[in-house]
Structure 1
């Protein structure tokens, strides 16, 4: 417990915002379904029929499950977008900005709660991949954590930036749905980008989720993912250093997207409703 006689510090404020965002998330059935259960249910529906099949030299069901681990970043984005816009429209953000609470602590607490939900999803989906779909344990856990952390930061910043373009809570589906559909069908989640039409592959590789999914699969399976297709041969295995070298272009693309998202957040983020 916090000593009431001690002046509050930045971690105290961020912790309080974390607890508030955490409680609000789990009390809202809609956010719980979309923000937590949706990737798991979609994975069970899509990956289960693929048991016993191979893609790129690995179990196709486990390959798809790793795609839905990446897709959990999109549901974290939707969770954050909904939460930020709702708090802004209810004037919560405006009131907080008028207090001694640092603005960065407000966002850090909300980002932290979304990150904790994502961690639970990753653990659940990872357990499904290993225990139900017979995936091996991750070849390079450190690279997997780096990719997931970088991907979460990117999608959290995108949520903060796009919240500034969202007129109100009723309009969040109009912003979130295109991101969800593009990520689901062109981000390499359920089907490899190499199986898309030739004219669509280059734009698909440039989407923000694609480098996360490809680098995550490389880190988990130790293979050179990125050019695989359903009809292609098994991908070559990689050594520990080679996995980082192969994932480097994906990490650079993530860094570029993150820098752009940070710039957009600084420019677009609003603490007050448009009509305020």
Structure 2
């Protein structure tokens, strides 16, 4: 009897969903196999939950693996390079010292890297994961929201800083100019990229799938590029418009980048800007840093309040 059962018994493997696209199946399997363990057994036999920071680092490694495989992510990574083409060909005029208006535009355009990557990649990839129920499985497995959002934020920051350093090195080789305060420039990039990643996460709550996220995300991208002082200096805008644009989450960071690159206090405008020391430059940057921090807190609270974990129904 036992022999007959062994001879006739078969083991059926569960079939994969044929409707699931290949890329999303890979993403789902990768995220599932690398889901952070909610508990580890200690020496005393009790279970201790890993810290949020440790889970965030694990998810960041997973995000890196998925980024390398995701072709759309590479598109958002290379797209900011297009910004520098028209800036290089724009008419240039002396601004102050040895710097021209083109130099100031290029310094502000460095923030466009984090702007495009943060808004485009975060909204696209989270919409795709929500549609394939990856986000819901992560939440059910006990992964905190801070780790899920922190993983993609750290990844965007990593690639943005690397690409910014590459662009600065190329500009330095071409023009022989280097940032007067690289640390302040890095802080400006960090603050702007973090805020833009949260904007991308908020967009996910408004769209149904990854395709609609790609189309919808271009609107805030263009709006923030036009009002952030990258293509048009705030001084050229009408008074009320320039005042409002100066409070949006790009213009303060753009002024920080221009000040860090030139070593001039440009926070009151280009006219009459003076070269200052490092301490004076950081002191003048404090209001812009405060505005960016306020925006990051507001956007983080909005993401925690309005983010949708379940797929949106028609």
TM-score tier by shorter-chain length is: 0.7 to 0.9
Q: CA deviation at 1:270?
A: 1.9
**Does structure 1 residue 243 correspond to structure 2 residue 284?**
no
In 2, Cα distance between the equivalents of 1:67 and 1:146?
Answer: 13
Tell me, which stretches of 5 or more residues in structure 2 are unaligned?
Answer: 1-36, 42-48
Partner of 1:139: 180
Partner of 2:161: 119
Q: Whose RCO is larger (CA < 8 A, sep 6+)?
A: 1
Bigger CA radius of gyration: 2
In 2, Cα distance between the equivalents of 1:56 and 1:30?
Answer: 40
Please show how residues 11-26 of structure 1 align to structure 2 within 5 Å.
Answer: 13-26=55-68
Aligned equivalent of 1:54, options 94, 103, 106: 94
Partner of 2:235: 194
In 1, Cα distance between the equivalents of 2:57 and 2:298?
Answer: 28
List structure 1 runs of 4+ shifted beyond 6 angstroms: none
Aligned equivalent of 2:73, options 19, 28, 31: 31
Whether contact under 8 Å (1:139, 1:219) holds in the other structure is yes
Structure 2 CA distance for partners of 1:261 and 1:127, relative to 1, 3 Å: same
Partner of 1:206: 247
Whether contact under 8 Å (1:224, 1:236) holds in the other structure is yes
Task: Give me the CA root mean square deviation.
Answer: 2.7
Whether contact under 8 Å (1:47, 1:60) holds in the other structure is no
In 1, Cα distance between the equivalents of 2:54 and 2:187?
Answer: 26
In 2, Cα distance between the equivalents of 1:206 and 1:27?
Answer: 37
TM-score of the two chains, using structure 1 as the length reference: 0.85
TM-score of the two chains, using structure 2 as the length reference: 0.76
Task: Report how many residues are paired.
Answer: 268
Whether contact under 8 Å (1:31, 1:79) holds in the other structure is yes
